Amino acid sequence: MAELVPRVWGLCEMAARANIKLTIDAEEADRLELSLDVFEALAALVAGQHPQWRGFGLALQAYQTRALDLVGHVIAIARTHKLRLMCRLVKGAYWDFEIKRAQELGLPHYPVFTHKHHTDVSYLACAQILLAAPDAVYPQFAGYNTGIITAIIQVASRHADVRRAGPPQASTAPSGGSDVHEVTNVGVASSLVLQRLHGMGEGVYRENSRKPLRGALTLPPPSFPLQGEELSPCMRGRFRCAFARPWGRTATRWLTSCAACRKTGPTRRLCTSSPTSRSARTCC
109-146 tens-digit pLDDT: 999 999 999 999 999 999 999 999 989 999 988 877 78
Comparing 33-37, 223-227, 254-258, the range with the smallest average pLDDT is 254-258
Measured from the Cβ of residue 276, the count of other Cβ atoms closer than 10 Å reads 11
CB 56 within 8 A of CB 81: no
Give the count of beta carbons closer than 10 Å to the beta carbon of residue 270.
9
Q: Does residue 265 register a pLDDT over 50? A: no
215, 196 Cβ separation under 8 angstroms: yes
At 52, which helix (H) or strand (E)? none
* Helix 116-131 / helix 67-80 crossing angle, nearest 10 deg: 20
Question: What whole-number distance in Å separates Cα of residue 230 and Cα of residue 92?
Answer: 23
**On the CB side of 173, how many CA atoms lie within 13 Å of its CA?**
17
**Is 91 within 8 Å of 122 (Cβ atoms)?**
no
Mean per-residue pLDDT, 179-200: 52
Please list, in sequence order, all residues whose beta carbon lies within 8 angstroms of the beta carbon of residue 207, skipping any fewer than 6 positions away: none
Share of the chain above pLDDT 90, in %: 40
How far apart are alpha carbons 197 and 219 in whole angstroms?
Answer: 6
Residue 155: name the closest of 198, 110, 124 by CA. 124
* Interatomic CA distance for residues 281 and 279, integer angstroms: 7
Let me know: does 110 contact 64? Beta carbons within 8 Å.
Answer: no
Task: Give residue 160's pLDDT band: very low, low, confident or very high (50, 70, 90).
Answer: low
Which of 7-21, 54-68, 209-223 is the least confident region? 209-223
Domains annotated on the chain, with CATH: 4-230 (3.20.20.220), 245-284 (no CATH)
* C-alpha to C-alpha distance for 117 and 278, rounded to whole angstroms: 32
DSSP structure class, residue 29: G
Q: Would you state the pLDDT for residue 48?
A: 93
